Structure 1
Amino acid sequence: MSATQDCPERTCPNEKVDSSDTLITRHRRDYTAPLATEASTLRYRSRALWLLGLYVPLLVIPWVLTCILVYHPIDRATYYDQSGLHKDSLKLHQRMMNALSVVFSVTGLVTVPIISAILSEAAVVYAQKRRETQSVNIRQLFALADRGWSSLAILRDALPTWTSHSNRRADVSSRFLWLAALFLLICGIQQPLREALVSKQSTRVMTSNDNFASGFRVTYNFKDQSKILGFDAEPYDIARIPEDIVTQDLMNSLATFNGYEYPPHLWQDPSGLRPYYLDTTSTSLKRQGPWTARQPWNDYFVAALPNATMTGVLRQRVMRLNSTVVCLNIARSDFPSSCAGEDPFVVSISRARQTEIRLCVPGRRGAFPWQLTRNMQNITEDVYMDLSGANSTNLIRRCTVHTVRGYFELGNYRNGETHGPLLERWEEPDRFAAQSEYNDWLSPKWQQTDRWRRPSAEDKITDLPGWPKSLAYQTPWSPVPASNNPNRTMSGPLMTSMIAMFGERSLLATANSSTNATDAASQICTSGRMPFSIFDGYDKYEKQCANLTGSNDQDDEVLASILSKFMVTTFNNTQHISASVYFANQAMLLQTVQNTQDFTARQIRSAPGGYIQRPVVTMYGLVIISALMFIQLTGLAYLVWYIYQVPTWTALLDAMAIARIANSLDKGTIPAIGSVTKQELDQLGEMNGLIGVVDSVHMDEETDDSSLKREIELGLGAP
C-alpha cells in the first residue's frame, strides 16, 4: 500500500509504523482535523420526540385504564350494576384486561432501552459547551458514551473516594451520570412494583340474563338464569286477611310448636347481641328457639321466606316483623274497670272455688293496625290479666307488646351473603326505572305494556291495572267453619294471640262454655289442643287430669285448677306470650302469601350471576405508582426540553461519535491496545472533554485578500 496519497494538506495524515506502541502493529496518524467542518452538522433532531410519542401512550394509557377498571368497567358506572351487564360488556371487559396485560409486558420490555436512548441524546447536550462554567473530562465523556447510568461497573467506579475500591477509581463521576442512573431506576422499578401492588381478583357480577324483569324487553338471546325462591306478602294484601284464617293457623301452631325446634321462618336480627346456639343437652343437638330461656331474647324477627334465604346477585327486600314483650305486676286498682277501645277483646271466666279470670285487650278488634306504607312503623298493644280465687295464686299482670314492621335486604353477593338490618325507609327512584340499587318488582299482574313495575313506598290494590276486574284473578279466602264473622280482618299480633287462646273458637272458651265440667276437663286433658301443650310438656297438667272423677262438682274444681295453672304459666313470664305473638305474625305473613302468590304477592328470586377478572389495588398502591409515574413524566418532559436547548453535532454518543472524538485527540492521548496504567487514565481524566465551536478563516491561494472563506468547526475543549 502506498505510503502517500493525494489529499488536501490540512486533512492528509502523516503515516508512520511503530510496532512498539501496541501489541498489534498498526498505522499511527498525527491527525489534527476538527470534529466537523460544516455548519449543517449542528441541528435539532426529532428522534427524542418520536421516542417520547411512542413511549408516553404505552406508559400512561394502560395505567389510566387500570385505575378506571379498579372501580368500574369501561362502559358502566359500577361493577355492581343491578340491571345486569350485557354479554357485549363482559366481552369488552375481558378483551380490555387481556390487552392491558400485553401492553404492560411490552412497556416493561421497552422502558429501559427507550429511557436510555433519550438519556444518550441528553448526554450529547451535556457534553457540548454551552456556558463558561461547564466542566466535562474525557473519562466522564466516555462513561456517558458507555451509558454508564445502566452499568453497575461504571457506577461502582464513579462512587465517592471514601468508599471501598478507591484504588481502582478514576474520575468518571458526573452529575448527569448519577441523575440519569436515578431516573432510570425510577422508570425501571415501576413494572415490578406494579406487578407487586396490582393484582387480579375474580369479581361476581350480575349479568343481563340474571335480570328476569329485562327478559320481556331484551328478547334477543335472553336466557333467564333466575329461579323463584318464594313470595313476599304485600301490605295491601295483609290488610285484607280475615281474622279467622290467622287465628286458626295460630291455634294449631301454639298447640304443636316445640321450644327445641327452631322455627324455619325465624331470623336473627343482625344488630342483636345473642347468637344462635345449640341445645347441648339433646342428643340430636337441635338449635333452640328463642323461648327456651326464662327471659327470652328479643333480637329476632319473622319473614315470609325461610331464614338464611340468599338471592345470589339479586338485591331484594322482604317484609319483617318483630315483637317485644314486657310483663309487669300491677295493683288490682290498675286493672281497667272498663276495657278501653271501640271494640276491645274482653274475657271473663268464673269457675268453682271462686276462681275468677278477667282479660282485657284494649282497642278495636278487626281493625288492621298497620298503614299501607313500606316504611318502618310500629304499634303498641296491652293486655291486662286478673286471676283470683280461693285455690289459685292471685296474679294481676299487664303485658305490653311493641311490634315493629318494616323491610330488610336478603343475603346476596353485595352484603356478604348475610341479611341486612331493618330499613327505616323504602327507597326507589321511579316505578318503572330501569336502573336501581335493588331488584324488587311487583307481581306480573302489575305489568303495563310488558314493563315490570317497581314497588313504591305505598302501593294500593286499587291502582292495579284493570281494577276491579283484575280482582277476579285472586283466589278467595278459604272459609273457616263455625266462624261468627268471616269478613272481620286481623288485628294486631297481641290481640290475635289472645283471641287464639281465649276467643270464641278456642279450646278454653269451649271448655268454659260447657255445662259439663267433666267433659270440658277431659277434652283439655285428651285433645292435645291446649296451647303450649308440647312446649310445656304433656305432663304439665298430669296431676290435675288424674283427679278427674266423673263428678261434675269435683271435676269443676279440676277444671278451675287447670285454668288457673294455665294463666299463671302463660302470664308469669314472657316466654309464652313472646312465642304467641311471633306465631301470630308468622301466620299473617304465610297465610297471606299462600292466598296471593298467584295474584299480587311479590316473587323473590335468586340468580347465580357470573365472574369477571378485575384489577385490585389499595389506595396506597395507586398513590405510589401514580406518583412514580408523575415523576417519570416530569423527568421525560425535562429531558426533551433539555435536548432541544441547543442544536447538537450528533444524535447519540455512540461508537461513531466516540471514534470521531478519539480522532480529534492528539496522538498518544488514547492508550493503545494492551494494558492501561493508572497514569494514562488519570491523564484522560484531566483532559477537557467539552465539544465547542471554533471559528476558522481560510484563504484561498488563488484569490486575493478580499476573498475570505469563514467556516464553523467543532473541537474538543473549544472556547
Structure 2
Amino acid sequence: MSSPSEPPGISSPQTASPRRLESTDDDSQRHLQSHSTASTTLKRSYYILWIVALYTALSVVSWGVICVLTERPLYGKRYGYMSSAITLGKNRWRKPDYEANERWYQAMRVIQSITGVLTIPVTSAVCSSAAAAFAQYGKSSTRLSMRQMIVLADRGWTDPRTFTQLLTWTGFKRTGSTFLVLAILLNILGGLIQPLQQIFLKDIAMKTPLYRIKLYHLFDVTDAFNYGPEQDDGSVVLMTRNALATTSLVEPMNQLWQGAGFSCDARFLMGNDTASAERGSYESPPAACGYGATLGNYSGLTEPFFAQQPSTFSTGVIRQFLPRFNSTSTYNKITANEWPTACTGLEDAEPGSYMVVYAKNGTDTVNPWAVTACMPSDQRHTPWKRTHSRQDFGEELYLNVTRADAGQVYEPGGSLFQIIVNTTAGYFELPNYNNGQVPGPLLANDPNNHCDSYCETQGMLYDFDETDGMIYDGSDPKSINYKRAVGKSDISSLAQVPNKGPLLTIAMALFGEGSFIAERVAYPDKYITDGNNGSLPNGTCVDYAPLQFIQHITYGYGIGDGSEGQQCVVNNDTTTFQDLQGGISLWLRYFQANDAQTMQNALNAAAYLATKAWVEHQVQVAGRSLTVSMDMGTDTQVPSISPAGMYIISILLAIFLLSLLAMALYSTWQVRWTRQLDAFAMMRVGAAVKDQVPMLVGGNAGKISSLDRMPGWVGDEEPSADIGTLGVGSRNALQKGRRYHSYEGDDEPWPTEIKGGREAYMEVRMEELRHDLKDDRRA
C-alpha cells in the first residue's frame, strides 16, 4: 500500500510489517503506534559525574584529614606541650579538644571504610557508563566484536574468568579490548588503596598536655653564691658525717641516676666452641636491675650521677632541665718521694691549706697509731663556679696512716696514700615523652641554648613570679668567688668557707672538728664506760663509726663483709683508755685496705653523700630559685603513618581518582544511545541481531564463532533520513541534536515550526494503519 504524501522535512520511519499485528491486543497496538512515531535526540549522561564527585570528596577529605592528624591536631597547633611564654594561656589543649579531635579521627576512619566498600561498585559503574560510549561507532569501536561487547556488558573487569582468558594471545584477541584492559587496571588500583591504608596506617596513643604542675624551690648552682662570708654554718659537713656513719651499701638511693645507656635487657652471648655456640648463654644483667641503684654497686652503674629529683621522675610532655653532679675517685698508694713537702708538718703548711695531725701518746706502746690528712692546695677558694654551663674540677687529699697492732697482718708503720676526686657538674634534660623517658646527656653549656617551645620557664624570683628566661640566674651579681682570710691550718675558719668541694667536705667529716677521731682524742673520758655489767653479753649499740657500712668493715675485733663482728660501737667495747685507742687504730685500718677497688667505690659513695648534703643544706629552701614544671598529659588516639607510606598512598589515590574522573568525563563527552551498557541495552542489541543469534540453548558461548564475526558497536542506520535509526554495526556516527526513533517514554516534543506538519502526518499515518488492520482481519 502506498504511503500518502509526508509533510515537509519528515521522512517515514521503519515500521514492523502489518502482518505481525494480527495477534496483538489493544495495548500492543498502542505500543507499536507510539514506537513508530516517538523520537528523541540523544543526550549525555551526567549522573555518573555526581557519583564520582561524591566518592572523590569522601576519599580526599577522609585521607586528607587523617594525614593532617598524623602531624598535628585539628584543634591546636601541634601535639604535645607548648610553652606558656608562647601561648600566653591561649590555644592550650583542653579535654573537650581531645575528645573532638578523636571524634574527627573516628569519623574519618568510618568514611574511609565506606569509601573502601564503595570503591569497586563505583569504579564498575563508571566503567559500565563509559563502556556505552566506547561501544558507539568511532575510531576505537570499529574493531569491537559482539563477543567483546558482551564481555563489557557482563562487566568482565570484575570477572576472574575473564582475567584468565586474557592471559593468552588468542583469548585476548577474542575477548579483550583496550577499554577492558583500562577498566581492569582501574579496578585493581582502586582495590589496592584500602589494604595499603590498613597496612601503613596505625593507631597510637599520643600524650597531650592536660594540667601543668610547677615544683618550686629547687637547687640551682647559682643559688649557692648568694651567701656572704659567714653564711656556712657547718651543716653540710655535719650532714655528710652523719651520712657516712649511717648510710648502707644496700640502701637504694632514689637520687642516684644512671645515664640513658643503662638497660636490664639480658644480652645473648655466643661461646667460641661449637657446643657453646649451639647452646648459647646470657650475660648477667647489672646488679641495679634487681637491687636498684645503691652505693654498693656505684662503680658498676652506667654513668652514675646525683640529681635532686628522684631517678624515676618525669616531666611528661614538657622539656625541663636540672643540675647533675658526678664524682669519681682514685685511691693510690704512694712512696715517700711522692709525699708533698707542704704536708710534712703543720709548720710547713701553705696558707689556706687543710691539714690535721692526730697521734696516740708516744709513751704508750700498746696499739700505737698516728694519722695525717692534708690537702696542700689553697682551700679558701671554692672549686664551684657560678655558671649554668658544665664545670670540672679536681681535689687531692694525702693520708699518712701509721699503725702497729700486735698480731695484725696489715703492715705496721706509715702507709702513704693519695686520694683524687674529680667532679663534673652541669645540666641535663629530665626524662620526658619527647626524649623517650630517659635522662639526657650532660650539657656542655647553658640549657637555655637547648630549649624550644616544648620547654617551660624554670626561673623564679622570690615573690614566686616566673621570669622571662628559661632558667633564671638568681645569684647576686655583686657576690664574688669568696676567699676567706685564714692562717696556716686554721681548719675552724676553713669550716666556714661556703661551697666546699666534695673531697674537702669528706676530709672535714672524717678528720675535722666533731669527727669520730677528733672527739675521741679531745674527750677520751667521754667514751670510756664501765660496760653493761653483763646484762647484755654482746653489749648495746651506742654509736656508729663512719665508713663502716659503705666499706664493709666492722668496728671492733673483727673485719669482714659485715656478717661477722659488730657494726656499731657498743657499750661494753670501751672500758679502758687502751680500748679507746685500740678502737681508733682499728678504724684507721680502713685506709690501709689493700683492695683499691673497694676503697674507690667507698670514696665514690662518700662523694655522692657529700654532694647530696651540699645541694640539700648549703642553701635554705626559701633561697632556691629553680623550678621544674611537669604535665603527665593524657592519652589521645591519633593516626600514625611513615612519610614514605603517606607519599605512596597519596600518589596512588591521586592517580586512581584522576583516572576515575577521566573515565567519567569520557562517558559524558558524547551523546549516548543508552545510559549504561547493561542488560536492557543488550536486549535491544539482541533484538536487532536475532537472526544471527536466535533463542537457543547456549551453555558454551565460546564456541559460537558468529559472535567473533559480528560487529559490536552501534551507529546510525539511516544517516540521510530526518529521523535516525539505531543499528548494530552501522558505520555512521551518532550525532548530537539529531532525532532518533525511541520508546514512548523518551519521546520529545517537536519544535513549534513543524508541529502542525507532524500532526497532519500522524493523522494520515494512523489512518493508513487502521486500513491495513482491516485488510488483515478480512484475510
Q: Which amino acid aligns with 1:14?
A: S
Contact 2:428/2:443, CA 8 A, preserved across alignment: yes
Aligned to 1:326: 330
Aligned to 2:605: 579
Unmatched 5+ stretches in structure 1: 20-25, 164-168, 212-225, 280-284, 469-481, 699-709
Deviates more, 1:317-326 or 1:371-380: 371-380
Deviation for aligned residue 1:557 = 6.2
* Aligned positions of 1:122-137 closer than 5 A: 122-131=130-139, 134-137=142-145
Contact 1:312/1:606, CA 8 A, preserved across alignment: yes
Deviation for aligned residue 1:318 = 2.3
Q: 2:555 aligns with which of 535, 540, 556?
A: 540
State the Cα deviation string for residues 283-307 of structure 1 (Å, max 9, x = none).
Answer: xx965733369x7667322222233
Q: Which amino acid aligns with 1:326?
A: T
Q: Which amino acid aligns with 1:568?
A: Q
1:635 aligns with 2:640: no
Q: 1:313 to 1:570 in 2, by over 3 A?
A: farther
Contact 1:231/1:602, CA 8 A, preserved across alignment: yes
What percent of counterpart residues are identical?
A: 24
Q: 1:571 to 1:683 in 2, by over 3 A?
A: closer
1:490 aligns with 2:507: no
Q: Which amino acid aligns with 1:180?
A: A
1:248 aligns with 2:238: yes
Q: Which amino acid aligns with 1:79?
A: Y
Deviation for aligned residue 1:192 = 4.1
Deviates more, 1:525-534 or 1:144-153: 525-534
Q: 1:718 aligns with which of 730, 735, 754?
A: 730
Aligned to 1:150: 158
1:686 aligns with 2:709: yes
Q: 2:444 aligns with which of 419, 424, 429?
A: 424
Aligned to 2:128: 120
* Aligned positions of 1:140-179 closer than 5 A: 140-152=148-160, 160=168, 171-179=174-182
Aligned to 1:111: 119
Contact 1:441/1:453, CA 8 A, preserved across alignment: no
1:671 aligns with 2:718: no
Contact 2:556/2:573, CA 8 A, preserved across alignment: no
Contact 1:120/1:653, CA 8 A, preserved across alignment: yes
Contact 1:128/1:690, CA 8 A, preserved across alignment: yes
Contact 2:319/2:429, CA 8 A, preserved across alignment: yes
Aligned to 1:300: 304
State the Cα deviation string for residues 593-612 of structure 1 (Å, max 9, x = none).
Answer: 7x21x453434455442221
1:183 aligns with 2:186: yes
Q: 1:132 to 1:679 in 2, by over 3 A?
A: closer
Deviation for aligned residue 1:252 = 0.7
* Aligned positions of 1:267-416 closer than 5 A: 267-271=257-261, 277=287, 289-291=294-296, 299-338=303-342, 343-351=352-360, 352=362, 355-388=369-402, 392-416=412-436
Deviation for aligned residue 1:126 = 2.2
Deviation for aligned residue 1:158 = 6.0
Q: Which amino acid aligns with 2:57?
A: P
Aligned to 1:477: none
* Aligned positions of 1:40-119 closer than 5 A: 40-41=41-42, 44-83=44-83, 85-119=93-127
Contact 2:550/2:605, CA 8 A, preserved across alignment: no
Name the SS for the 2:503 alignment partner. Answer: helix
TM-score (norm 1): 0.75
Q: 1:273 to 1:116 in 2, by over 3 A?
A: closer
* Aligned positions of 1:253-264 closer than 5 A: 253-264=243-254
Aligned to 1:437: 454
Contact 2:134/2:140, CA 8 A, preserved across alignment: no
Unmatched 5+ stretches in structure 2: 23-27, 84-91, 265-284, 344-348, 406-411, 480-490, 531-539, 560-568, 732-779
Q: Supply the distance in 2 between the matched residues of 1:271 and 1:679 (Cα, whole angstroms).
A: 72
Q: Supply the distance in 1 between the matched residues of 2:302 and 2:633 (Cα, whole angstroms).
A: 36
Q: 1:559 to 1:106 in 2, by over 3 A?
A: closer
Name the SS for the 2:133 alignment partner. Answer: helix
Q: Supply the distance in 2 between the matched residues of 1:487 and 1:377 (Cα, whole angstroms).
A: 23
State the Cα deviation string for residues 494-539 of structure 1 (Å, max 9, x = none).
Answer: 111111111123232233445x6x667879x986253124445684
Aligned residues: 637
Quote the RMSD (CA, aligned, Å). Answer: 4.5
Q: Supply the distance in 2 between the matched residues of 1:513 and 1:203 (Cα, whole angstroms).
A: 65
Deviation for aligned residue 1:582 = 1.1
Contact 1:349/1:357, CA 8 A, preserved across alignment: yes
Aligned to 1:614: 638
Q: Which amino acid aligns with 2:181?
A: W
Q: Which amino acid aligns with 1:657?
A: A
Name the SS for the 2:342 alignment partner. Answer: coil
Q: 1:56 to 1:428 in 2, by over 3 A?
A: farther
Contact 1:44/1:644, CA 8 A, preserved across alignment: yes
Q: 1:189 to 1:576 in 2, by over 3 A?
A: closer
Q: Supply the distance in 2 between the matched residues of 1:386 and 1:649 (Cα, whole angstroms).
A: 114
Deviation for aligned residue 1:428 = 3.4
State the Cα deviation string for residues 609-641 of structure 1 (Å, max 9, x = none).
Answer: 222111133455435433431331342254246
Deviates more, 1:137-146 or 1:601-610: 601-610
1:233 aligns with 2:219: yes
Q: 1:307 to 1:648 in 2, by over 3 A?
A: same
Deviates more, 1:612-621 or 1:256-265: 612-621
Deviation for aligned residue 1:555 = 6.7
Q: 1:305 to 1:439 in 2, by over 3 A?
A: same
Aligned to 1:530: 545
Q: Supply the distance in 1 between the matched residues of 2:140 and 2:545 (Cα, whole angstroms).
A: 112
Q: 1:137 to 1:121 in 2, by over 3 A?
A: same
State the Cα deviation string for residues 24-55 of structure 1 (Å, max 9, x = none).
Answer: xx99x99xx99x987x52x6554444333322
Aligned to 2:624: 600
Q: Which amino acid aligns with 2:520?
A: A
Deviation for aligned residue 1:257 = 1.4
Aligned to 1:704: none
